[in-house]
Structure 1
Amino acid sequence: MLWLLFFLLPSFCDGRIAAQGVAHKNPNSSVHVKSRPHIYFCRSPNMEDFSCWWRPLENLTEEVSYVLTYSKDKEPQQECPDYVSSGPNSCHFDKKHTIIWKFYCLNVTAVTTHGNYTSQKHCLDVADIVQMEAPVNLSFVLEEAGGDEMGHNALLSWIYPVPAHLKYGWITLEHELQYRRVSEPDVWKVKYPLREPQVELLGLPVGEFVVRVRCRSHNARLWSEWSDPLMMSIPARPPAGKLLVLILVTGVGVVALLVVTLGLLPQSRR
């Protein structure tokens, strides 16, 4: 792919030298290109590999190919090692091509028959683009509490979906859990930071709640996506005093019914 890029790069255009980062176009061409490619997102799930994605040219009807080149610190420029693994308009850097604590600078160039369109330079440190997967299997267990007046306790837990990301010690997870009443869509209560994949919520009132959780590497700025929301129902239950009265009344009623029934049986035999 690099030879195609260098072959098609014009040495001049209307007497002006073509500059990197500027969209070049044949002035006699009727092709109208609205923009140049744009590297909009890079992500590493584990500090061992990473991928970058770009937005392609708009309003282009002719055939186009994309070449991503990169350099590490002051090393020579190289081409993307893998255009396939992370999907269309992407470049994937496997473990062999990923080195933390080195500065990567990337450009992507759209190569067309009428000219070449190069993105702005996108520079990154792999440690700064770590974004974990969203937690899964969020669940809860209701625990005994002091009745509706004092609230109910719920133990929530979840797991990280790719344990292999954590086994080498690069990543230390921290979590954030949010919950709210179903009837209050904008009133989230927050539990953060959480070092373990579980938390106990104390004194929850009766009602329906929505719970969600996300995570990130301790030193990273990017959070994962939110987990699937969990619906949590806190049921009402009668206070202990009322429950005791109900049991006594029911017991007395059953005894009275038995006495009446046993008293009527001898009379029916006469």
Structure 2
Amino acid sequence: MEDFTCWWHPLGNLTEQEEIIYIFTYSKDEGPVVDCPDYISGGPNSCHFDSSHTSIWKMYCMNVTAVTAHRNYTSQQHCLDVAEIVQTEAPVNLTYKLTDAGGDELGHNVALTWAYPVPTDLQYGWITLVYELRYRRIAEVHNWKVKQPFREPRMELLGLPVGHYVVQVRCRSHNSGLWSRWSKELAMSIPARAPAGKLLVMVLALGVGVVALIVIILGVIPQSRRIKDYFLPPIPKPRIIGIDPLLLKKGHLDAINRHFSGFHNYCPPSYTEEVWENVMKGKNVPK
């Protein structure tokens, strides 16, 4: 906002021999009307205001008069504030980074960042910027998708499908409707596979899992017998003090009875032999 230039279109439908003189006049905050300070620096049909003639936060009202041999032509008055006509520089250093990969169906999240070429203008508060970002697939020349307006020099695109894209960004003062030029195009490629960072994390996680499984197999399985004995101790076999278990297995009842005869009120069982009579069919049995 140190200086500015005004231009006008010359009159048409006049003969080339007719001489025309243009007079540019202006006033500041309804002050006295004065002539243009510089008709040369801005080129033909212009008026340039250097830093000594530029005032911030003041209203300029101006018009142009074309003086011909027959009559004068005066334009409509045009009023403006310097802050309203600031055209900012195009942003620079536009970069991108994949922040999340959800696969081919969900797409990827992409973080975009950029910078203003004159950061001191922002640091001193002379201007507050708003941004506009646009992107498209490389093959779709006229199918731009636009994100605007926002004030931070960053933007995250969510769920961007796999493919190749072109991205640009521009800015303007929040008091002005004049956008800067678009930044240089940034070619952006969204891969079908996970980004290298996530792929590395997946490989490391898989490796750690395999190592842990091997440690479990080599360390826990050989100790399974000991663990089983700790949690499930063997059931003791029934045993009677003073009795040889082999006697119970071999079935020597006489020896067993002799051992038990020492117990109080023990009576050895009595055994009887069952008598089977052979019944023969077809023979008379005496009554």
SS at match of 2:83: helix
- Matching of residue 84 in structure 1 with residue 19 in structure 2: no
- 2:188 aligned partner: 232
- Matching of residue 52 in structure 1 with residue 6 in structure 2: yes
Shift >4 Å, 4+ stretches: 183-187
Within the candidate set 84, 87, 111, 1:155 is matched to 111
Q: Which has the higher strand share?
A: 1
- Give 1:223 shift: 2.7
Structure 1 CA distance for aligned equivalents of residues 121 and 194 of structure 2? 47
- Give 1:53 shift: 1.1
SS at match of 2:156: strand
Question: RMSD of aligned C-alpha atoms?
Answer: 2.9
Equivalent AA in structure 2 for residue 51 of structure 1: T
Structure 2 CA distance for aligned equivalents of residues 49 and 79 of structure 1? 16
Equivalent AA in structure 2 for residue 122 of structure 1: H
- Give 1:144 shift: 5.5
Distance change in 2, residues 1:165/1:86 (3 Å) = farther
Structure 1 CA distance for aligned equivalents of residues 69 and 120 of structure 2? 45
Q: Which has the higher helix share?
A: 2
Structure 1 vs Structure 2: percent identity of aligned residues?
Answer: 67
SS at match of 1:58: coil
Could you tell me the TM-score, scaled by structure 2's length? 0.58
Structure 1 CA distance for aligned equivalents of residues 107 and 41 of structure 2? 50
- Whether the 8 Å contact between 2:101 and 2:194 is mirrored in structure 1 is no
- Give 1:54 shift: 0.5
Larger radius of gyration: 2
Structure 1 CA distance for aligned equivalents of residues 35 and 194 of structure 2? 69
Structure 2 CA distance for aligned equivalents of residues 231 and 162 of structure 1? 24
- Give 1:181 shift: 2.5
Distance change in 2, residues 1:66/1:211 (3 Å) = same
- Give 1:214 shift: 1.6
Structure 2 CA distance for aligned equivalents of residues 183 and 49 of structure 1? 42
Deviations 1:134-187 (A, max 9, x none): 223433234562433432233322222344543531201121212222344554
User: What 5-or-longer segments of structure 1 have no aligned partner?
Assistant: 1-45, 245-270
Deviations 1:9-42 (A, max 9, x none): xxxxxxxxxxxxxxxxxxxxxxxxxxxxxxxxxx
- Give 1:233 shift: 2.2
- Give 1:78 shift: 0.9
User: What 5-or-longer segments of structure 2 have no aligned partner?
Assistant: 204-287
Could you tell me the TM-score, scaled by structure 1's length? 0.61
- 1:176 aligned partner: 132
* Higher relative contact order structure (alpha carbons within 8 Å, sequence separation ≥ 6): 1
